[in-house]
Amino acid sequence: MVGTLDIIAACLQYYIKTGKSPENVLKFIASAVFGKEAFTGGVLMSVCGLLFHFLIAFTFTTFFFFIYPKLKFLSYNVILTAILYGVFTWAVMNRIVLPLSNTPAIPFTWTGAAIAAGILCLCIGLPLAIIAKREY
């Protein structure tokens, strides 16, 4: 669920910002492995990007449910947990994963970082925090 929410939000934000096809978002994700060739590839690159995206979302989801019962403070406030995990996800992706991948560098801006982190807080952090609170 969180992977679907996140990719829809990312594609929508990209389209609103650029007016270009959201398919470019999927090819950007695929470029982490395939480099610049991903942008000239066809549907296969988009499918690979989507699969990579869901693998990453699944990994962050699994990690969240691994740490949630161990870090008791996460159960105190759903909104704070959503923000913390969204910002954590943004930091890991933008400061560790992307620099180590083949994706082209994206210039840092505070606005871009805030939008990206906000999307992660709403689409990954909040649903996970709500589900974890209910299940634990």
20 burial via Cβ count (<10 Å: 0-12, 13-18, 19+):
exposed
Domain boundaries, the chain: 2-135
Q: What integer is the mean pLDDT of 28-51?
A: 97
The pLDDT of residue 116: 96
The pLDDT of residue 10: 96
The pLDDT of residue 64: 98
Per-residue HEC secondary structure of 62-111 comes to: HHHHHHCCCCHHHHCCHHHHHHHHHHHHHHHHHHHHHHHCCCCCCCCCHH
The pLDDT of residue 119: 97
The pLDDT of residue 81: 98
The pLDDT of residue 38: 97
- Element housing 9 (H / E): helix 2-18
Q: What is the pLDDT of residues 85-130, one digit of tens each?
A: 999 999 999 999 999 999 999 999 999 999 999 999 999 999 999 9
Q: What percent of the chain has pLDDT over 70?
A: 100
SS3 1: coil
